Structure 1
């Protein structure tokens, strides 16, 4: 398969602004994020993946019975052990012979899923869904958003014209310990920036043509701009400024932002701790509608929806 035939996206309706969080903590630590989306208590990577996938299927000429591959990418599976890909396939009504693969443990998981679906050479669904969580007073949580993007891979549509990958050891830029629900980082800013630019730059250098536009992983609304310095000044697209950090889904949201601005071709770059990056250049435009209708919530409501405060008012 060599093209993206259709796309779908889902964002939760609950929204909190940077100003609201800043008022609670006398400051806001997520640079470039003005507002973000917050998953409801009954939303997780599986439910968001299903909603995005439904939109991608509805916009496609392929029916559910045609899908032979489902590739799911997330850093926030709702269970530590258990095949959530099978859950998504079952809810969507995909055939029981559908090849299901789940990529996790890195924000690179979304592009890993895309590359896997392209290599499968069968009609496939790629879904990246995430809702990261940090400690309430740190930069990870201030940036953490939620959302999902689905792409249907086929032979027609926006063409995939090049792919590249690059890995280099930069441990600890972002991680979650076994048994923990919160993502951490070492807060070594220079080290994190070096990992981000070096690894992304390594993937970009392997492309046949330098990109004119890029959609990189966006842990906040600021650091993606640094990718331009290793991509010949390419225009950078991201959605973290209004959705927050959508983890494995963030480079695919960047692709949607580029399409909304009639930008083509676009190189989607997934970066993850370890560190590694995938670069996928896509030529052509697809219509994608994100329902961005929002309900603003208070900081107390935010804490409850994030699980930091239980419904009875006690601490988690």
Structure 2
């Protein structure tokens, strides 16, 4: 299983932990210094399209060559409706492209990538997310936005080992049917245990774990905790410090962070509350740059862009 190219997209708007902390009298997302925020005309479909276009631009394959599209998000713009078809339509993919949508778990990004890697022919995997919770909730303090896309086809990067792990942890992060905000019971030790046990369980099912590990990062603290439970002297990577919690795209942005640091062998550990985890070891490296100049916004602007304040014409 090989990856030929990658593309990433992040919104231009940014809010700092200091800005949120000053407005609320505190900031509850450990290890997050700033995060990206969707503008009024962006959603997970538009972000997915931008990331996919970048991945295709670096691929030897055209959009007409693609046999499959796998789209991952926990925050689709509609509760019912085929968002995968929307992505395919905007990209101008073939009418007979096989489309799958992966959702309801932050490990959906690796689920989508595995689907693309197992396709019969060149395939596109895209993970785009923008988690949301109540404004005074630590989940929202961490919540960022971004998208990453991969073209699965013969290339310089190979996936050499894959494993999974599943064990039910009721009450970890979830979103009720019809709700726009995620929530958790805030049993911190229990939630941390679910993360660590699932990550470690998936890793233990691999033949070996690389010295560099890229983990799902609900904040900037948990990845280090998860890495400490693994055997050997491993270096954890994530993007939460500057981008926030990227949901289904989180572990894959962590992979890009490892590649950008020069790592040629990386084990991705993707976690989804509930709980389950995927482990994938990548050999080889691509240019995973996601740099984009940031525009800092105030807390009032943040509330409008997140939909907490309804103001027409807000971008």
TM-score interval, smaller chain = over 0.9
Q: CA deviation at 1:277?
A: 0.4
Q: CA deviation at 1:163?
A: 0.4
Q: How many residues align?
A: 312
Q: TM-score, normalised by structure 1?
A: 0.97
Give the Cα separation in 1 of the matches to 2:279 and 2:5: 19
SS in structure 1 of the partner of residue 118 of structure 2: helix
2:289 match: 289
Q: CA deviation at 1:42?
A: 1.0
1:110 match: 109
Cα shift readout 1:272-308 (whole Å, capped 9, x = no counterpart): 0121001111000101221321000000000000001
Q: CA deviation at 1:117?
A: 1.3
1:176 match: 175
For 1:198-213, list aligned pairs within 5 A: 198-213=197-212
Give the Cα separation in 1 of the matches to 2:181 and 2:79: 13
2:30 match: 31
Give the Cα separation in 2 of the matches to 1:121 and 1:191: 41
CA contact (8 A) 1:211 1:231 kept: no
Q: CA deviation at 1:213?
A: 1.1
SS in structure 1 of the partner of residue 218 of structure 2: coil
- Structure 1 gaps, min length 5: none
Give the Cα separation in 1 of the matches to 2:265 and 2:230: 14
1:260 match: 260
Give the Cα separation in 2 of the matches to 1:213 and 1:291: 22
2:190 match: 191
1:49 match: 48
Cα shift readout 1:117-172 (whole Å, capped 9, x = no counterpart): 12223211010000011100010110010000001101222111110001001122
1:91 match: 90
- Structure 2 gaps, min length 5: none
Q: TM-score, normalised by structure 2?
A: 0.97
Give the Cα separation in 2 of the matches to 1:300 and 1:217: 29
SS in structure 1 of the partner of residue 254 of structure 2: helix
2:308 match: 308
SS in structure 2 of the partner of residue 211 of structure 1: coil
SS in structure 2 of the partner of residue 208 of structure 1: coil
SS in structure 1 of the partner of residue 250 of structure 2: helix
Q: CA deviation at 1:211?
A: 2.3
Cα shift readout 1:250-292 (whole Å, capped 9, x = no counterpart): 0010011001000121111111012100111100010122132
Query: Structure 1 residue runs of 4+, over 6 Å off?
Result: none
